[in-house]
Structure 1
Amino acid sequence: MTDIILTPSAAKRVAFIAEKQAKPAILRLAVEGGGCSGFQYRFGLADVVDTDDCAVETDGVTLVVDPMSLDLVRGAAVDYVEDLGGAAFKVTNPNATAGCGCGSSFSV
């Protein structure tokens, strides 16, 4: 099983944002305590891949996750979706037992 997946749609969006900000195309996904359901996802561009990060590459874009966060998102897919509600990165997490209406927090 792959630890985590970055979809081509998400990779394309990260590449676009990184180019605009003149940063490397590295997206960091972290899980923090908080949100409506107990944990929440945090995304940001990273300058480097840390030695203990799990890193996957899609279309020249790297997704990195720290070891503690990886325990909570192992097997997940990070996608970028645009719909009537807006556009956002979305995590499909098989470890989440419950989520919230906003889609940005979860519980395990």
Structure 2
Amino acid sequence: MKESDSKKKAFYKNSWKKIIITDHAIKQIIFLIHSNANNKGIRIGIKKSGCAGFRYTMELVKKEKKEDLIFSINNILVYINSKHISLIEGVKIDFIQNNINKVFKFNNKKFENLCGCGDSFSIN
């Protein structure tokens, strides 16, 4: 890794606060991370999907990727591909439990169009 890359990662790790994670989501994410000793945090990304264009993704991280920027948000390590930063900025992550259904919900004020099911979106 180049020195400039490590400085960039250190900058982001300590300064970027553009994601909000609700208390319910924090509890569930911590539970999932602790389910396996190899888990380091979560990776939030964007994937082309659905009728509106994109959807958010979230997965457990066991190994850092070279394009990851790493942030500590509410004591959770959050890994984001550097190419996705502008699309993820402003997102609020919640964990919703409705009877037997449990799901992480991503809300972003930059949504331009939502798909009918609410899973895909386009951004200004």
Contact kept? 2:43, 2:61, Cα under 8 Å = yes
% identical equivalent positions? 26
Structure 1 unmatched runs, 5+: none
Tell me the number of residue pairs that the alignment of Structure 1 and Structure 2 aligns.
107
SS in 2 for 1:53: strand
CA displacement, residues 15-69 of structure 1 (integer Å, 9 cap, x when unaligned): 11122233335111100112221001111001245575151321x3222222222
Residue identity matched to 2:21: L
Matched, 1:81 2:93: no
1:26 equivalent in structure 2: 41
Indicate the structure (1 or 2) with the bigger Cα radius of gyration.
2
Q: Secondary structure in 1 aligned to 2:52?
A: coil
TM-score by length of 2: 0.72
Q: Note if 1:100 corresponds to 2:110.
A: no
Q: Give the partner amino acid of 1:66.
A: N
3-state SS of the aligned residue for 1:63?
strand
Does 2:79 correspond to 1:56?
no
Distance 2:72 2:118 in 1: 23
TM-score by length of structure 1 reads: 0.80
Report the residue type matching 1:5 in the other structure: I
Q: Which consecutive residues of structure 2, in runs of 5 or more, have no partner in the other structure?
A: 1-15
1:4 maps to what in 2?
Answer: 19
| Larger helix fraction of residues | 2
